[in-house]
Structures are given as structure tokens and as C-alpha cells.
Amino acid sequence: MRTYLDCYPCFLRQGLDAARRLGADQARQKLVLDKVLELLGHLELCSTPPQIGDQVHRLVRRLLGDGDPYRDFKEATTREALALYPRLSRLVAEAEERLETAVRLAIAGNILDAGTGPAGELWATVERVLSLPLPAGELDELREALGGTQGVLYLADNAGETVFDRLLIEALQVPVVYAVKAGPVLNDATVRDAQAAGLHRVARLLSTGSDAPGTILESCSEQFRAEYRGAKLVIAKGQANYETLSEEGPRLFFLLQVKCPVIARDLGVAVGGIVLRRGGRPGVPR
């Protein structure tokens, strides 16, 4: 998905938020903001939003150092999600349609973006997502694709959301490679975050080799790219993976919640809606 002009205010907000989480004082926050403004002033719109987001986060790291601004947030959301795990697991076990319930929970977990509320709201999200409409056709296609594959490459999104991914992975009944970021960016899961959520017990963990948001293939390691090229079925979580891979073909299934008006327009789904969408071809996103 290309970058829209509406994304610009969001890049500013992301830079400012990251600077604050790194403890920058007012003067250094202003410095970050001025540099992001300069960066945005020299942009071409052919990049995807995560490619520009990557530049913004690199800039923040260059100016303020190589910390993990969202460490506390990631640990807290992982704890919150783990506390729900037994209850969520029962939901799947008792469901008539286990795969559908597990898909819905994986989408529900996508609410755990930097800036979401406490665990009380997390359970409310679970209940909301269980009741929202999900396209039956694409669920059938996913089921069919699962039947014809020896394994799944699963592209993770946020820490904490990992716990919800675990439930879906347990329901898939095929071997899964769970791909996470090589280093901290936003509240995206790294190997450490995935281990804290117990993902190493249900999948083989793999670093993408990149610390950019989403999956920017040219910034990933050769090892990851080989795994990606060889995968018959890819499950990709969250907006940033959709933004970077939406035209990579029907091997991909995107699971996400719609959190911004730009993606809402691109997908034809309202903000707050849930999405299970099969990938399209270059120039012909589905």
C-alpha cells in the first residue's frame, strides 16, 4: 500500500511518542520533531508507510540512542494477555468452529498497539471481535489453504498480541515458523518478547533480520527471505504487514483490526472493523 498524505501527521506523532518514551526532555522532543519535519519535507510518496516509519524510528534512534522505548509497555501487555490465556484457551476448546474462534482471537489481540488501555478493555475487545462479522468466503479459503500445506509462515506484529497468536497456532495443526523483528521498533515483538509469551513452545521462532515496522522484504535477512519465498501459506498480522505485503499474492492471509482511516479506505472496512483478507497481485490488491 502506498503512503497517503494523511499518513504524515501520524509519522510526526510516532516520532514524538518514541522520543517521549525514551525520556527525552522538551528540547530534545522538539529536536526530534524538527528532524522528522525535515525528513517528511523530502519524501517521495512511492514508499509504503512502514518504509517511512522505519526512517522516522531510525532517526529517533540516531538522535536519542538505541533504547527500546516500548519495553515496559511490551512487558505489561504480554503479562495482561498471558493472564487471559487460560480463559481464551477454553473459548477455543469449547467452540463449535475452533479455527474461526482462534482466527477471531488472533485478530482481537491486534488491539494491543502502543497506546491501548488496560486488561479490562482487552477482554471487552475479545467479546467485540467474537461478535463482529467475518467474511465467511475468505475463512473457507484459509481453511482450504491450510488443508493443502505442510506448514505456515506466521508474521508476528505486537508483543502481547503474541499470546493470541499462540492460540491460533495451536489451532492450525501444522508446523509454524513464527517470524519476529530483529530489534525493537514500536511495540513489535522480538524473539525475547515472543519467548516471554511462550511462542517457542508452539512454533519455531525466526528473526526477519530487520527492525523496520511491517515486513520490508529488501531489509530482511537472506535466511528469512528464503523461508518467505518457500512458504506455501503466510499468515500476516496487523496493519504494517498489510501495508508492506498487500500485493504479494494469494499465498498471504492478513489478519488485523482497522485502526486508521487511510487503511479503512484502502480495505473498504470501517475503523474499528476486523479483517481477514487474502493477498492480491501487484497493482491489483484484493
| Contact residues for a copy of itself, defined by CB under 8 A | 5-6, 8-10, 12-13, 16, 26, 29-30, 33-34, 37-38, 40-41, 45
Min CB(70)–a copy of itself separation in Å: 19
Min CB(200)–a copy of itself separation in Å: 38
Task: Indicate the residue among 250 and 261 with the shorter CB distance to a copy of itself.
Answer: 261
Task: Indicate the residue among 31 and 95 with the shorter CB distance to a copy of itself.
Answer: 31
Task: Indicate the residue among 13 and 98 with the shorter CB distance to a copy of itself.
Answer: 13
Give how far the C-alpha of residue 218 lies from the chain's centroid of Cα atoms, to the nearest Å. 18
Task: Indicate the residue among 34 and 121 with the shorter CB distance to a copy of itself.
Answer: 34
Min CB(34)–a copy of itself separation in Å: 6
Task: Indicate the residue among 175 and 261 with the shorter CB distance to a copy of itself.
Answer: 261
Min CB(215)–a copy of itself separation in Å: 26
SS (H, E, C) the chain: CCCCCCHHHHHHHHHHHHHHHCCCCHHHHHHHHHHHHHHHHCCCCCCCHHHHHHHHHHHHHHHHCCCCCCHHHHHHHHHHHHHHHHHHHHHHHCCCCHHHHHHHHHHHHHHCCCCCCCHHHHHHHHHHHHHCCCCHHHHHHHHHHHHCCCCEEEECCECCHHHHHHHHHHHHCCCEEEEEECCCCCCECEHHHHHHCCHHHCCEEEECCCCCCCCCHHHCCHHHHHHHHHCCCEEEEHHHHHHHHCCCCCCEEEEEECCCHHHHHHHCCCCCCEEEEECCECCECC
Min CB(260)–a copy of itself separation in Å: 13
Min CB(36)–a copy of itself separation in Å: 9
Task: Indicate the residue among 21 and 166 with the shorter CB distance to a copy of itself.
Answer: 21
Min CB(63)–a copy of itself separation in Å: 14
Task: Indicate the residue among 6 and 144 with the shorter CB distance to a copy of itself.
Answer: 6
Start-to-end CA span in the chain (Å): 11
